[in-house]
Amino acid sequence: MRLFQEELAVLNVGLGSFADEIIQAGGKAAQITWAPPAGGDPAAGKALARLVNDKDIEAANQKAFAAYLGADPTLVGIALAREAIVGMNERRILHSGPPIAWAQMCGPMQGAVIGAVIFEGWAKDHAAAKQLAASGDIAFAPCHHHGAVGPMAGIISPSMPVWVVRDPATGRQTFSNLNEGLGKVLRFGANGPEVIERLKWMATTLYRVLQLALAETDGIQIKPLIAQALNMGDEVHNRNAAASMMLLRRLVQQMLASRATREEVTSAVAFIAGNDHFFLNISMAACKLMLDAARNIPGSSMVTAMARNGVMFGIQVSGTGDRWFSSPAPVVNGLYFPGYSIADAAPDLGDSAITETAGLGGFAMAAAPAIVNFVGGTPADAIANTRAMGHITLGKNGGLLLPTMNFAGTPAGIDIRKVVDTGILPVINTGIAHREAGIGQIGAGITRAPLECFSQAVTALASLLPER
């Protein structure tokens, strides 16, 4: 009965209203934020219980994280998709996110497919392109199934040039298309004549100049370049201003040393100089390469991809190989361009969340306080986001330091167990496309990966464990 005679020291876990009443009655209570794992889903919770404190999983994760850290993504060249990517020497179009059929695709992805069909010369106008796309005569597949990544709609067709990023030690390669700039561009679903014309120029002049320039190098290491960009306010997902300039500074010298004509160099430099996002697609291919190194390690609960097709948000996990765990893609409550609102937005779209999966983008927001002007929030929110991601990741990337975090490494290696246990969802900086084909970007913002993908993955990984 001494309990009633002493002053109570209360730690309240979970629902805050219990603590509130004690405080209102003149007592003291410290509130601990807590919610049941897996949002209260008993099956996922039980699966999670099997995965925590498992020595084999810890060992597998150490191996996966070390493989991620060890990759050395190096930009070695540029090639046409049909030459560089297996399976692209036929009538195939790659798209972002998990697999999806033409009929289910969101507006901007259909718009981008139509543009690609016209760009390829497979159809003469929009109506014919749409008919062809719906006919089944074009094979569709996720970029990720072909070692590639693409921002937003992520469309890669056979005649598009792609960056080739390679890990010298393993020979592993990844690919990405080239960034078209902002405004009316294919990846946001625009497909008018100016979009097709730009794609054609990119596939000829720009392709030729970049190919000649890259031939003058022994490859460009991407990780040191990203590390410098983090010192210069980029998070290399929605802010690539410094990285794009550093790349241009390097490439322009190789262009001048190459056989490219002065006119070709001039037009290529003007295009790259006018696009602060030019580096994004290289950043994405580099991130995919780092994460592909961590794929297919039995037992590992580390996420190797997060990607969205504008309908579904999907993740892949090292220990479950190439299987997708998907859930409806959220609509982004971000900063909209004048005249547009969330009602106009397509759901979350693009492979670019591969940057967050690798510890960049939203995970490295602390490096990029100025990005809040583009995606919303305050610099303090940016730092808080990075800090929160430390709770759901396997470690820090000591090669990618964040100055405002006192040069701590960026949090990396998302652990599905920690996401499901804490309910802290991976934060993603993203662009927002109009939900209809042919319009383009209407905003940018910060979104979260859906818990459901991670709960599914936890259940699937637990089912692979040997019975004990």
Report angle CA 221, 226, 229 to the nearest 5 degrees: 135
Closer CB to its own copies, 5 or 406, in the complex: 406
Least distance between its own copies and beta carbon 168 (Å)? 25
Read off the tokens for 272: 């790259």
Helix (H), strand (E) counts: the chain: 17, 18
Residue 210 engages its own copies in binding (rule: CB under 8 A): no
Q: Residue 217: what residue type?
A: T
Radius of gyration of the CA atoms of the chain, in A: 23
Q: Quick one: which of 104, 131, 204, 266 contacts its own copies (CB under 8 A)?
A: 266
CB 246 within 8 A of CB 99: no
- Give the interface size with its own copies as a residue count (CB under 8 A): 30
Read off the tokens for 189: 């679903």
Residue 215 engages its own copies in binding (rule: CB under 8 A): no
Closer CB to its own copies, 169 or 380, in the complex: 380
User: Which positions from 354 through 383 interact with its own copies, judged by CB under 8 A?
Assistant: 369-370, 378-380
Q: Quick one: which of 31, 217, 404, 422 contacts its own copies (CB under 8 A)?
A: 404
Closer CB to its own copies, 168 or 379, in the complex: 379
Residue 233 engages its own copies in binding (rule: CB under 8 A): yes
Residue 259 engages its own copies in binding (rule: CB under 8 A): no
Residue 398 engages its own copies in binding (rule: CB under 8 A): no
Least distance between its own copies and beta carbon 293 (Å)? 28
Q: Quick one: which of 252, 331, 335, 465 contacts its own copies (CB under 8 A)?
A: 252
Least distance between its own copies and beta carbon 241 (Å)? 6
User: Whole-angstrom Cα distance, residue 388 to residue 390?
Assistant: 5
Q: Quick one: which of 94, 162, 206, 241 contacts its own copies (CB under 8 A)?
A: 241
Residue 245 engages its own copies in binding (rule: CB under 8 A): yes
> φ, ψ for residue 432 (rounded to 5)?
-125, 125
Least distance between its own copies and beta carbon 272 (Å)? 9
Report angle CA 263, 207, 155 to the nearest 5 degrees: 135
Using the rule CB under 8 A, give the single segment among 188-196, 227-235, 296-304, 349-357 that binds its own copies: 227-235
Closer CB to its own copies, 289 or 402, in the complex: 402
User: Whole-angstrom Cα distance, residue 154 to residue 99?
Assistant: 12
Residue 182 engages its own copies in binding (rule: CB under 8 A): no
- Which residues is 374 bridged to in the sheet? none
Closer CB to its own copies, 187 or 239, in the complex: 239
Residue 269 engages its own copies in binding (rule: CB under 8 A): yes
Least distance between its own copies and beta carbon 366 (Å)? 10
Residue 407 engages its own copies in binding (rule: CB under 8 A): yes
User: Whole-angstrom Cα distance, residue 456 to residue 262?
Assistant: 55
How many CB atoms within 10 Å of residue 245? Answer: 18
User: Whole-angstrom Cα distance, residue 440 to residue 413?
Assistant: 32
Closer CB to its own copies, 32 or 257, in the complex: 257
Give the DSSP letter string of 61-104: HHHHHHHHHH---EEEEEEEHHHHSTT-SSSEEEESSS---GGG
In what helix (H) or strand (E) does residue 10 lie, and over which residues does it extend?
strand 10-13
User: Whole-angstrom Cα distance, residue 259 to residue 461?
Assistant: 53
Least distance between its own copies and beta carbon 365 (Å)? 12
Q: Quick one: which of 149, 185, 248, 358 contacts its own copies (CB under 8 A)?
A: 248
User: Residue for token digits 């749409």?
Assistant: 130
Residue 242 engages its own copies in binding (rule: CB under 8 A): yes
Closer CB to its own copies, 152 or 225, in the complex: 225
Using the rule CB under 8 A, give the single segment among 117-125, 191-199, 266-274, 450-458 that binds its own copies: 266-274
Least distance between its own copies and beta carbon 174 (Å)? 27
Nearest residue to 407 via CA among 378, 444, 366? 366
Which residue pairs, CB below 8 angstroms and at least 24 apart, start in 2-11?
none
Residue 468 engages its own copies in binding (rule: CB under 8 A): no
Query: Mapping DSSP to helix (H, G, I), strand (E, B) and coil, where does residue 150 land?
Result: coil
- Which residues is 156 bridged to in the sheet? 94
In angstroms, the Cα distances linking 206 to 160, 173, 268 are: 11, 22, 6
List interacting residues with its own copies (CB under 8 A): 228, 231-233, 241-242, 245-246, 248-250, 252-253, 256-257, 262, 265-266, 269-270, 273, 369-370, 378-380, 403-404, 406-407
